[in-house]
Amino acid sequence: EDQVTQSPEALRLQEGESSSLNCSYTVSGLRGLFWYRQDPGKGPEFLFTLYSAGEEKEKERLKATLTKKESFLHITAPKPEDSATYLCAVQAGSGGGADGLTFGKGTHLIIQP
């Protein structure tokens, strides 16, 4: 069974204080690892897809990295508008098929001004 564990569950940072969120996973046949951001009352918003160990993706103050067992979402000099719940998900599958995404429970990030 595919599993995704995110840590910490919640994180409070001061504006400008960089940190990292962790996503550990076990999956048979990783097709991709994904990061989403979810604001209160909204659906998740796609951020990144990582396909293989060693891959990195960047977007503004966010950088996602991937190893064979975990992924990190690094947040550099965050601003209050970065406050949200960050969700990690994996997709398994082989051949021509692809499974639905398996999500972690998320990290609730609060950036204080």
Partner 1 sequence: KAGVTQTPRYLIKTRGQQVTLSCSPISGHRSVSWYQQTPGQGLQFLFEYFSETQRNKGNFPGRFSGRQFSNSRSEMNVSTLELGDSALYLCASSLVQKNTGELFFGEGSRLTVL
CB atoms within 10 A of CB 72: 16
Minimum distance from CB of 111 to partner 1 (Å)? 22
Site for partner 1 in 23-42 (CB under 8 A): 31-32, 34, 41-42
- C-alpha distances (whole Å) from 60 to each of 5, 19, 64, 95, 104 are 25, 15, 11, 34, 23
**Does residue 44 touch partner 1 according to CB under 8 A?**
yes
Among 91, 107, 109, 111, binds partner 1 (CB under 8 A): 91
Q: How far is the CB of 32 from partner 1 (least distance, A)?
A: 5
Residue selected from 17, 29, 105, 112 as contacting partner 1 according to rule CB under 8 A: 105
ω before 8 within 30° of 0 (cis)? yes
Query: Nearest distance from residue 25's CB to partner 1, in Å?
Result: 13
3-state helix, strand, coil in the chain (%, to 5): 5, 60, 40
What are the backbone dihedrals phi and psi of residue 82, each rounded to the nearest 5 degrees, phi first? -80, -5
Q: Contact 67/53 with Cβ under 8 angstroms?
A: yes
How many residues bind partner 1, per CB under 8 A? 24
Q: Which residue's CB is nearer to partner 1, number 1 or number 113?
A: 1
Residues interacting with partner 1, by CB under 8 A? 31-32, 34, 41-46, 49, 87, 89, 91, 96-106
